[in-house]
Amino acid sequence: MNAPVKKQHLIDPEICIRCNTCEETCPIDAVTHDDNNYVVQVEICNYCMDCIAPCPTGAIDNWRIVSRPYTLEEQFSWGELPSQEELPQDEAAGAIIEALEDEVGAILEEARKGLGGKAVAPASASKPTVNLYNRGKPAKATVVGNFRLTDNAAENDVRHIILDFGEMPFPVLEGQSIGVLPPGTGANGAPHAVRLFSIASPRDGEKPNANNVSLTVKREPGGVCSNYLCDLPKGAKVEVTGPFGATFLMPNDPAAHIIMICTGTGSAPFRAFTERRRRAMPQAAGKLVLFFGARRPEELPYFGPLQKVPANLLTQHLCYSRVAGQPKTYVQDRLRQEEAFVASLLKEANTHVYICGLKGMESGVDEAFADICRHAGIDWAALKPEMRGSGRYHVETY
């Protein structure tokens, strides 16, 4: 994160009714008021978000990226909220609030480097809730399911883990992530770092109207958090933060075409996207196209369930790089094979591209798009930033 910019919590004076609920609720007295306005003291607020839900108006839920925080006097004098000030390009990189904790913000910033610019949410995406729970006040989730997705014979162990929030509200959108806090401390005595996982279930839960999320977790040799999660029995409690992410979101517009490109556990958000479409708009006019790479079918998470997804809902391109007797096929190879179709979609103004998985896939996919565009007479160097700027190109790699 760039040091000089700060996310400042502000209250919209045009919407606020001065009911004092926020001031009453704030556990550390960061909210104060004069005869004109209720305001948040920037040097006290620790983003605990306790004031957000009780506010009857929504006025409390406003944030600005600032190079110089607004003073109390400035805030007291406002009749309306100032708009987001223009920041230099590099400072503006974090201008959309994906997370309020620097620890998490840094992870997301790293994951979005492949975008080559500022991340923008799709125009028709729902407004996400961000950072409802943090390290100081995590949500306690209960493991209600934990099973292996990859074949028993496969060497990688990828698991589908369902976390239930009981009566605690945990609103999520497809494409958002949650943080998991593994218990205990590292060698230096500090708590283990938070790990982020994309949710694999749609906004209304693993089954409709359940207050839970599912995660796709790969057991990493020696990985603190992945081993902790993969070994959890049913009924175990997990400390969770988030939700995080405000740009890698699904367009609500049923006419939007969505190209999803992933490897391994990068499939998690796309499982959520697909399930959302299936539940909320099964007759959507927009196409849903998946390019999914793995070494072998046995190692492809959700291989079984994917076989049951109807072709009119989802066009699947499963690509394998280690199947004996077959040429190695990576996602970028399949993109090239589907050149005409991909180009036709890229020409449409309501096509959205999402890339999620290992960092290594980024350059190959980018080159494939460049080639496809060149053959179709499209300038990829111009189209990519245009799509990004209009919230239609998204990258989350790790």
Quote the least distance from Cβ 48 to another protein, whole Å: 9
Task: Please compute Rg for the chain using Cα positions.
Answer: 22
Rounded Cα distance, 97 and 286, in Å: 28
> Which residues are CB-contacts of 146 (< 8 A; sequence separation ≥ 6)?
159, 160, 161, 162, 230, 232, 233, 234
Binding mask 9-28 for another protein (x = CB under 8 A): -----xx-xxxxx--xx---
Binding mask 55-84 for another protein (x = CB under 8 A): -xxx--x-----------------x-----
* Interface with another protein (CB under 8 A), residue from 30, 31, 42, 49: 49
Q: Which of 91-99, 167-175, 258-266, 275-283 is the region at the interface with another protein (rule: CB under 8 A)?
A: 167-175
> Which residues are CB-contacts of 371 (< 8 A; sequence separation ≥ 6)?
336, 339
Quote the least distance from Cβ 375 to another protein, whole Å: 39
Contact 41, 48 (CB under 8 A): no
CA-CA distances (angstroms) from residue 220 to 159, 205, 217, 274? 11, 26, 9, 27
CA-CA distances (angstroms) from residue 160 to 253, 355, 392? 29, 21, 28
Quote the least distance from Cβ 171 to another protein, whole Å: 9
Under the criterion CB under 8 A, does residue 208 sit at the interface with another protein? no
Quote the least distance from Cβ 125 to another protein, whole Å: 10
Under the criterion CB under 8 A, does residue 220 sit at the interface with another protein? no
Residue number with CB closer to another protein (124 or 315): 124
Residue number with CB closer to another protein (51 or 314): 51
Rounded Cα distance, 75 and 9, in Å: 11
The helix/strand/coil state of 283 is coil
Residue number with CB closer to another protein (15 or 376): 15
Which among 28, 37, 24 has a CA at the least distance from the CA of 74?
37
Contact 344, 385 (CB under 8 A): no
Quote the least distance from Cβ 392 to another protein, whole Å: 19
Q: Could you tell me whether strands 212-218 and 158-164 are parallel, antiparallel, or unpaired per DSSP bridges? A: antiparallel
- Please work out the total of residues on this chain that contact another protein, with binding judged by CB under 8 A: 29
Q: Which of 50-58, 272-280, 284-292, 387-395 is the region at the interface with another protein (rule: CB under 8 A)?
A: 50-58
* Interface with another protein (CB under 8 A), residue from 45, 115, 129, 215: 129
Residue number with CB closer to another protein (168 or 285): 168
Rounded Cα distance, 113 and 74, in Å: 35
Under the criterion CB under 8 A, does residue 90 sit at the interface with another protein? no
Residue number with CB closer to another protein (17 or 44): 17
Rounded Cα distance, 229 and 107, in Å: 19
Q: Which of 53-61, 96-104, 277-285, 324-332 is the region at the interface with another protein (rule: CB under 8 A)?
A: 53-61
Under the criterion CB under 8 A, does residue 136 sit at the interface with another protein? no
- What torsion, rounded to 10 degrees, do the Cα atoms 332, 337, 338, 343 define? 80
Under the criterion CB under 8 A, does residue 35 sit at the interface with another protein? yes
Binders of another protein among residues 94 to 123 (CB under 8 A) are none
Contact set with another protein (CB under 8 A): 14-15, 17-21, 24-25, 35, 49-51, 53-54, 56-58, 61, 79, 126-127, 129, 132-133, 137, 167-169
